[in-house]
Structure formats: C-alpha cells, structure tokens
Amino acid sequence: MPTRQERLAQLLDRKVIAVIRMTDTDRLMDVIAAIQKGGVEWIEITMVVPDAIDVLKEVSQRGGSAVIGAGTILDPETARLAILAGAEFIVSPILNLEVIKLAHRYDRLAIPGAFTPTEILTAWEAGADVVKVFPATALGPAFIKDVQGPLPQVKLCPTGGVTVENAGEFIAAGAACVGVGTDLLDKAAIAEGRYELLTRRAEQLVANTRQT
C-alpha cells in the first residue's frame, strides 16, 4: 500500500473526491466503475449509510484501482473501524483532533472539516493533510481565495455545493482538491442503469478542474 505522503501526492494530482451515499453495493460498484472510467478514482463512502462499515469493507475489497476512503467520521473509534475495513483516507465534516492522530497512527490521510479561518488553521497545525472546507455551499470560490491569501500553506478541499460546473472555479481560487457528491452522481441515471451518463459527468468534472 502507498504511504500517506504518496497518497497525498496522488490526491493533489487527481483533485477530485467523489462523495457517495449508497447502500446497494452491486449498484455502487457499477457507479464506481463508471466514474473511474471518466477519470474520478478517489471514492469516499460516508458513514451515514446503513451498515456503512460493511459496505466500506466490501467496496474496498472489490474496488480494484479505486482509492476508497471513509467519510462522515466523527470520532477516532469509527475512524479505526473504517481503516480496518479498508479505508485509505479519513474524511470528517468536523474537527476532531483525535481523529487526525488516529488516521496518522495507521498512516492514512486525515481530511478534517472546518468552516472558519481559525478552525482551518487549527486543523492544519494539528497535522491535517488537507482541510475540508464544509459546507462550502454558503461560501463559494471567493472564500477559498480569501483564506489562501493569509494561509497559502494550507491545502483546502471545499465540499458541499461543489458541482461539475463550478469545481474548476474552486480550483482556480486556490483549492487543492474538491469533494463532489450529488451533482456528479445523478440519481435518475443510477436508478435507470444509465452509467454512461455518470462517465460523461466525471469526464466533464475532471476536465473542469484541469482548465486552471
């Protein structure tokens, strides 16, 4: 398995994390294959889905070359369970310093959530590999640019409100990567098995983040 620093370099190159909330693992594997075909390889399985750890374990075993991580991690106990189930990175909507320590103990990327400049710097100084700016819905790309002014050393990953269309604007504003969920994973397309639509959305997303 790659080291934490090697994984970080990969993430900074790929720039996109797909945030997935699904329980049907067979359909989930088809979704992962579709967006991978479009160039999105980093997959976050959130802990809000029923039996999330079991889902994470199965996806980690069947995910092939996809980089599978766990999201909505609120405490170190859940982080450890997720890592033992195969998570290669840990994402949280909030800042819990013990989660960062636990992730690093297992040589996994820690991506804690923060909203204010104070929280962002606190997370960074606690060792966060990337800081998730959440929810980015109410903030927009201008906030990322403003924060990067006095804190250029901090790697930011806006999530929530990031779309296929505006992802490139966040990257241009200084974001190191973005987290994209609903806008990438069209529910109707998934329900109808039209996975080629997901591939096209993924291709567009990747292209937009590389136009900066």
Measure the CA angle with vertex 158, ends 153 and 164; round to 5°: 130
Q: Convert 72-92 to b/e letters by CB count within 10 Å (16 or more is b).
A: bbeebebbbbbbebbbbbbbb
Query: Is 169 annotated as catalytic?
Result: no
Catalytic residue among 41, 132, 155, 169: 132
Q: Are 167 and 159 in contact (CB under 8 A)?
A: no
Catalytic residue among 15, 41, 44, 155: 44
CB atoms inside a 10 Å sphere around CB 63: 21
Cα distance between residue 95 and residue 119, in whole Å: 8
Query: Is 44 annotated as catalytic?
Result: yes
Cα distance between residue 32 and residue 1, in whole Å: 20
Q: Are 140 and 173 in contact (CB under 8 A)?
A: no
Q: Are 116 and 147 in contact (CB under 8 A)?
A: no
Tell me how long the chain is.
Answer: 212
Question: Annotated catalytic sites, by residue?
Answer: 44, 132
